[in-house]
Each structure stands twice: as structure tokens, then as C-alpha cells.
Structure 1
Amino acid sequence: MSLVLYGHPLASFCHKVLIAFYENGTPFENRLVDLSDETSRADLFRFWPVGKIPLLRDEARDSTIPETSIIIEYLDHYYPGPARLLPLEIDRALQVRLWDRFFDHYVQVPVQRLVINRLRPEGKADEIETAASRTTLATAYAMIEKQLGESPYITGDAFTMADCAAAPALFYAETLVPFSPDQPKLRAYYDRLVARPSFARALEEARPYFKFYPYHEKLPARFRDAAE
């Protein structure tokens, strides 16, 4: 298999890349990384000493591709399928890149900070950082609601890399800061993403691991039940 994706089924950034693979049915080996296992750890670190996942290895081109957005653009260019995830037209492509970064920086990052604070020993959580993260998510939700308008996806009618970023970001974010009742477009967008076959497949593969999510009790019931 030419393409090997190093990742973990519970990681939201890995979901983002999996969605891109599944949208186009691109063949690849999904290699689970266990950082507590010396062999698994060494297999990842020999290609990317930073040790972050996901990481794509393309043996056919002898290329190592880190970072989610770069991986998706790489696939779109070298392994294109029926679904183009980054438009060719520059202004539309810039919008997709903008909202891709938006979901990574203003949804994924505060989610990670909230989870990290949950995992800290009692009395060690950073309450200022926690409050700021919740505020950032609330602000992001309002901006997404406005951006959606009458469009089914974040940059228009087509599903793009930005939506690949949005799906896992919103899935976990909603368990921490629920959507407001006055954000019906955001809720409908979330429901549309969760139902999309590519993301539904990634979530199904993550099902056995959801019990390890620190906020698993706040997952949607169908995933929470499977995790308990």
C-alpha cells in the first residue's frame, strides 16, 4: 500500500484527514499509533520526530506529509478523486483555507485546552484558560451561524476541506459548550456533517475508543452507550 496514515481513532485531527480519504475512496493503510508502545512510537518518530499525528507517508513518492491541511491538499493534488476538496479558483480556495484554519484554531484548539484542563489533577485546572476557551467557542459558534447563511456547507454548496475540519471540531466542541437554541443553522450544519457517510464511518471506527474521552458522558447517546 503506497499511502500509510499514522493516527488514532479517537483523535479529532485524525478524523479530519480520514474524512478526506473516505470522501474519495482513496486506498490507504490506517496505521494506529500507540505512543506507549516503543515499537509503534519508533515507527512514527523515524519519519516525524515531532511525534504529532496524523502523519501521512507516501512510499511511492518517498514523501512524508505532516499537518492535516497539508495532507488533504497533498491528496487532492496527487491522488485526486471525484470530490475536489480544494477549489481550483483562487478566491474560493482562499475561503476554504480560511475556514479550514478557523475550525482548527478557534474550535479545535479551545476544545483541546478544555480537555487538558479536565485531565489535570484536582485543583490544578487553569480556570482563566478554561473560561477563555469557552468564550472562544461561543464566539466561533456565532460566526459560523452567520457564515452559513442559506448554504449547506461552510463556504457554499460544495463539501470541502473546510467541512472536513468542521465535522470533528464541532462533534467534540458540542459536548463541551452546547449550541445555543438561537443557532439553528449551526445545529442543522452539525447534523448534516454527522450524517455524512465519510464522517459517520470515522465515528463508527472511533466507537470502541470513546470510553477514553474525558467527557464521554456528554457524547450523543448512541456513542455514549457504545462507550460504556
Structure 2
Amino acid sequence: MAAFLSSSLIFLYFSFGTSLTLNYYQKTCPAVESLVRKAVTDATRRDKTAPAGLLRMHFHDCFIRSGGPSWDVPKGRKDGRISKASETIQLPAPTFNISQLQQSFSQRGLSLEDLAALSGGHTLGFSHCSSFNNRIHNFNSTTDIDPSLHPSFAASLRRVCLAKNNAKKAGVAMDPSSSTFDNTYYKLILQQKVLLSSDNALLNSPKTRSLVSRFASSNDAFSKAFVKSMIKMSSITGGGQEIRKNCRVVN
């Protein structure tokens, strides 16, 4: 869990380094894991959306510059000194097709297996209408709704996300059990009831489609694959210069 303390900073170069260790803070802060675990647990009690936010922060930190299953997190990622909102354009967009997703992940040394497993993070949290409005309004010149969406699901989304509604907070949960880390997300993909084009895109490659089916039928298989890919992603290292003494400011 200590990896969640890393700042959301953007690394300029990518490599899978060997500098991270499980006992990085053993001498300097031996209680760090229990302290972080308690902080996360307390935050989740107060706000059930906290795990989704932490997961997204971890993804941002590792993917750009470098409540569910538990695992030993390799520690020692160095914090950078640059943080630019404009560089989040490097993140995979919710409108990406399978080719764009594969390219984005492979550039960081991540495979189609990692893509399918890490996409399961969408079992948590909330999505604003702006991320999927393109699928339910004016989809193309011949149809208003993305034909890959289940009709009843599309209708329910249109009731929440009106064509001319610009409310910033409007949106829906990623899945009905959005505060529980489970494999519901994959079941919804097969039912054509997922929000994002990038979610549905997992059906457009034989490899990822097979993995979606596997994870939908086995929560254990999903959990094991997710942990493996999270550890792999957290090992992407790059332009960090320091371990911050205070996570809010540079040393």
C-alpha cells in the first residue's frame, strides 16, 4: 500500500527497474505498511469511493511517468519534480479502440494480458457522462446510439446523461457493485453493458476477449492476474529524483 503515497508525477522515460524492494523502509520507517494500511482503511470507512481514487492515482503515477486483493507492494519509487496536467494526454482515452490500447500499453512494456487485467480496475468508481456521451448521443450519421450497447442499458444511460445536460457531476457508477472489488465488470462486458468504448474494445481481439470470458467466470483468476499486472506496472520506473520526506512538497 505504500506505493499509494507516490505523487502523481510524469516520468519522461520508461523501464522496468530492479531498484524497488519489499523492505525498502525496513530501517527508516519499519511501521510504514501498517500506517498506510490504517490510513487507507480509515479513509474507506469515511468514503467508499476512496479505493477507486487511490487505484486511479496509482495508475496515473506508474502509467504516465513511470478494497480488493492484497499483495506485497515493491517500494522505493522515487518522486519526480515535474507535474503537468497537460501530459495526462498520454493516458489511454475512454474512446480508444483495441489497436490504440495495445499500442499505449506495449509502449510501457505491458502486454494484452496486462491490458485485460488492469482494465478490471473499472469495477470500482464512477464515470462522468462526458466519458461515454459519444456512445449514447449522435454516435454517427446513421444511428444515435452505439449498436454495441445493450438497448435497455443505453436507454438507462440516456435518462441520466441528457444530450444537452452539461452538469459536471452527472454520471453513473462503473458497475452496480462499484464499491466492491469483484469480476462484475467482465460479466457486464459480455452483456454489452459497460460504459466506455475502451471497455467494449476488449471484445475486439481474440486474446483479450478470451481473457474477459475467463475473468468473468472466475473471480480468483481475475484477482491473481490483476495483482500480477499491478506489480508489473508499479515497477515501471523513470525520471524520479528523490524519496520525499514530506509527500506534499519536494525535498
Question: Which structure carries more helix by proportion?
Answer: 1
**Which has the greater radius of gyration?**
2
Q: TM-score range by the shorter chain?
A: under 0.3
- More relative contact order, 1 or 2 (CA 8 Å, 6+ apart): 2
